[in-house]
Amino acid sequence: MLARKSSDPTGLVTSPRRRRVPRSSKRALFSPETPTALKRGSDLEIENEHGPARKTPRRLVLFNSDEQASPLHPKFARCNSAPVLHGLPFTTYEPMLPTIRSSQHPDLHVISPTTALEVLQGVLPASLQGARFFDCRFTYEYEGGRLRGATSLPSPDDIEQHFFAPSLEQSTTTALIFYCEFSAKRAPDMMRHIRRRDRCLHAATYPELLYPEMYLIDGGYKHCFESTRAACDPPTYTSMNDPAHAERGKAAMQLLRQRWKAHQPVG
C-alpha cells in the first residue's frame, strides 16, 4: 500500500509487506511424500524469537486416492488384555465366566463377588478345569484375612515364579482370579503385567496365550468381606491403611513402587 509522508521527496512511501509463502511450500505440507516428522512439526508449537511459543491449528493430511493405509499387524490391532479366538483374529473373545461391565477397567474381565463365591464352591462351567485365586495385597493384609485358598502375590517379582517358570498346568482352561483391597490398582496392574509377559512370549503365534482366562473381582476383598464373610479365611479384614501396620504399610508401598519401576516395559 502507498502512503504520503512529508519527509519523503516523492510524497510516497512503501509500507512493509507481509512475507508470502510459496505455493510449493504450502503444497509440501500436505503432500503424501512429505516426511511424517515435517507434517507433525507443522502442527506443533512454533518458536517465536520475540515471545513464548504459540500453537497453530492442526491440519488434516489428505492422501492420494490411489494410496491405501498399510494394515496394522494383528498384535497391534488388538488390545493387550483381550485374547481372540484362533482363526478369527477380529472376533471378540468371550470369557467362560459371567462378567460385569466396568468403567474403571474396561480392558479387563471383571466378575462379581457372587460369581467369585460360586467358583470357590466349585460351581464352574464345563469348559473350565479349575480356578485359582491370587491376593495382590501386602503380606500383613493377606495374613489379616483372605479368600479361601488364595495365593499371596504382592509383588511383580513373583510373577515369573508363579506363572512362567514353569507355566501352570491346564493354563488355558484354568480361571485365574485376582483381587486387592478394592481391586482398583494393585490387582489390575498385576493382571496387565502378566498379559504383557504372555503376549511377548507368544508374539510369533498371536493370538495364542497361556492364560486367556484372567478375572478381576469387582470391589476387591472389601466387597467380598462385606457381602459374604463365609468365603474369607480367617473371616477378618485388615485394611492397607490400618494404623496398627502404618510402618509396614509405608515400607511395603515404597518397595512396591521400586519393583514396578524395574518391570516397566521399555519403549
Report, as residue numbers or ranges, the catalytic residues.
Answer: 180
Question: How many beta carbons lie within 10 A of that of residue 124, not counting itself?
Answer: 17
Q: Which amino acid is at 23?
A: R
CA–chain centroid gap for 153, Å, is 20
Residue with cell 483372605: 146
Residue 95, preceding peptide bond in cis (omega within 30° of 0): no
DSSP single-letter state for residue 229 = G
Long-range contact set of residues 233-237: C-beta below 8 Å, sequence gap at least 24: 233/145, 233/146, 233/147, 233/148, 233/149, 234/145, 235/145, 236/144, 236/145, 237/144, 237/145
Helix ranges restricted to H, the chain: 23-30, 36-43, 74-77, 113-120, 139-143, 159, 186-201, 220-227, 246-262
